[in-house]
Amino acid sequence: MSIFTELAHQYIDGQWLAGTGSWDIIDVNPYNGEKLAAITVATVEQVDEAYRAAERAQREWAQVSPYARRAVIEGVLRLTEEREDELVEAMIDELGGTRAKARYEVWLAKEFLREAIQLAVRPEGRILPSLVEGKENRVERLPVGVVAVISPFNFPFLVTLKSVAPALALGNAVVIKPNQNAPVTGGGVIARLFEDAGLPAGLLNVLVTDIAEIGDALLTHPVPKVISFAGSDRVGRHVGAVAAKHFKRTVLELSGNSALVVLDDADLDYAVDAAVFSRFVYQGQVCMAANRILVDRAVEHDFTERFVKRVRSLNTGDPHEDDVQIGPLINPFQADALTALVDRALEEGATALVRGATRGNLVEPTVLTGLPEDSPLLGQEIFGPVALLVPFDGEDEAVRLANATPYGLSGAVHTRDVERGVRFAKRVEAGMFHVNDSTISDEPLAAFGGEKASGLGRLNGDATVEAFTTQKWISIQHGRSHFPF
């Protein structure tokens, strides 16, 4: 039995179930169009069942020793290591990413599991001084209760686990709504790992469904206290607005439009390597990807020549093949939309230094230059293998161009002077910025999140504890208080 046949179900209160909706989500291999699974969507009633199961189970889980919770996460880590090859193959099939991308995703997910193991025993209470004689102020850190996790298709295993594992380690229960392009690697696989690691029933639930079936029920239901969402800013705005109306806390990891900046003293060969990776890894379907590559005019000619040569060497094709760097986009809609974006840019006066062909979901790399500064393409997220080269004169103009976008997620600058790079990084409106590296980076202890339309809140390390716990003040009066009346 394949992993898709086995795990393409709803998972509610410890039971693998069929959805009770009237239509199916079809899980398709984006490279060859093969049907991997058909999953009948979950209904509003099943949303309620999942949340109520989580609510019941969480009350007891919150009282469980953090060392016992830690043991479950340790079990998930062991199982992930044992099943790594199977996970990698499933990711290639379902997501269309290369083998290198899939192995990186599993490797980083294991690092986040190791951090979640530590988070289980990290929260600490505090005793604070009081204005009142004889009073003791305790501030306890407690789980929020139930967390909803709505995850994307591009790194579904990693991004989902980044919320699920620490939320459970900290004493919460979780309901996952995976992206419908990744229902197994972002949902069923994770449920099976926790089930096999001994997580009690009800604490983790997976709902494969769509807004067309359930509307906003996932957001408006009274049980979840925190919504952890990763996806587009368009959907994220809606999630944030609905959650705020119902007094729910959100962590929103949204779109990006990162700039990789090449200053006049950069190591050009190294900058080219970083730029090619930052733009084209997983076909550019990464929120931190370098949409825009800003190059000082002093080195523009040399950088462009080397960059174009490297891009032309990239192979597009079957992601199972080791010599392929560019696999398919996730679905035909994305491939057609990206092709239309490039056509429009060329009509607006851009020049194609490399013009890749589109064959089904396979979109070869494209490199554009000469875009007008008011081109809409420069201000938006491009979720595909299209690089925009933009020249600048001096650091001030580079900062202005880097900030000329509604987004502020990530970025990078290349210079031989590290402190110059740090000064530059501080001027860019982004939640994360890297000196002499890729725009794409994530680490378990470093706060991850964006500014402006790239989201609200942070994850990783201490930020994760803040996201999935709440603080309660408990005061104790030793002796008698004196009241004014």
Does position 307 have pLDDT exceeding 90, yes or no?
Answer: yes
Residue 212: CATH number of its domain:
3.40.605.10
Does residue 423 sit in the same domain as residue 308? yes
Note whether residue 480 is domain-resident: no
pLDDT given at position 340: 94
Same domain, 387 and 421: yes
* Claim to verify: residue 347 and residue 425 sit in the same structural domain: yes
**Tell me, what's the pLDDT at 122?**
83
At 238, the pLDDT band (50, 70, 90 cuts) reads: very high
Assess if residue 483 is contained within a domain. no
What is the reported pLDDT for 482?
86
In this model, does residue 1 exceed pLDDT 70?
A: no
- Residue 305 lies inside a defined structural domain of this protein: yes
Closest of 204, 84, 65, 229 to residue 146, by C-alpha: 204
pLDDT tens, residue by residue, 270-303: 999 999 999 999 999 999 999 999 999 999 999 9
**Confidence at residue 484, expressed as pLDDT on a 0 to 100 scale:** 87
Greatest Cα-to-Cα distance within the chain, rounded to the nearest angstrom: 83
The answer to the question of residue 445 being in a domain is no
- What per-residue confidence (pLDDT) applies to 124? 84
Can you give the pLDDT at residue 123?
A: 84
Task: Looking at the structure, tell me whether residues 202 and 250 fall in a common domain.
Answer: yes
Shared domain check, 400 and 352: yes
Q: What integer best gives the mean pLDDT of the chain? A: 97
- 232 in a domain, yes or no? yes
274 in the same domain as 149 = no
Chain segment 239-274, per-residue pLDDT in tens = 999 999 999 999 999 999 999 999 999 999 999 999
| Residues acting as catalytic residues | 253, 287
3-state SS class at 6: helix
**Beta-sheet pairing, 173-177 with 204-206:** parallel
User: Is 292 inside a domain boundary?
Assistant: yes
What range does the domain containing 401 cover? 258-435
Residues 418 and 333 in one domain: yes
Q: What is the pLDDT of residues 121-163, one digit of tens each?
A: 988 889 999 999 999 999 999 999 999 999 999 999 999 999 9
Structural domain contains residue 448: no
Which residue(s) pair with 294 in the sheet? Answer: 261, 390
| b/e map 11-38, b = 16+ CB within 10 Å | bbbbebeebebeeebebbbbbeeeebbe
Closest CA to 420 of 263, 302, 260: 263
| Per-residue DSSP letter, 161 | H
126 and 238 assigned to the same domain: yes
Residues 49 and 147 in one domain: yes
Report pLDDT digits (tens) over 389-426.
999 999 999 999 999 999 999 999 999 999 999 999 99
How far out from the chain centre does Cα 439 lie?
Answer: 14
Q: pLDDT tier at 338 (50, 70, 90 boundaries)?
A: very high
Task: Work out the average pLDDT over 115-120.
Answer: 96
**Considering the domain boundaries, does residue 424 fall inside one?**
yes
Same domain flag for 236 and 314: no
Q: Domain check: are 385 and 239 in the same one?
A: no
Indicate the number of domains in the chain: 2
Q: What is the pLDDT of residue 2?
A: 85
Could you read off the pLDDT of 89-108 as tens digits, one per residue? Answer: 999 999 999 999 999 999 99
The pLDDT > 90 percentage for the chain reads: 97
On whether both 216 and 291 belong to a single domain, the answer is no
- Residue 314, domain CATH: 3.40.309.10
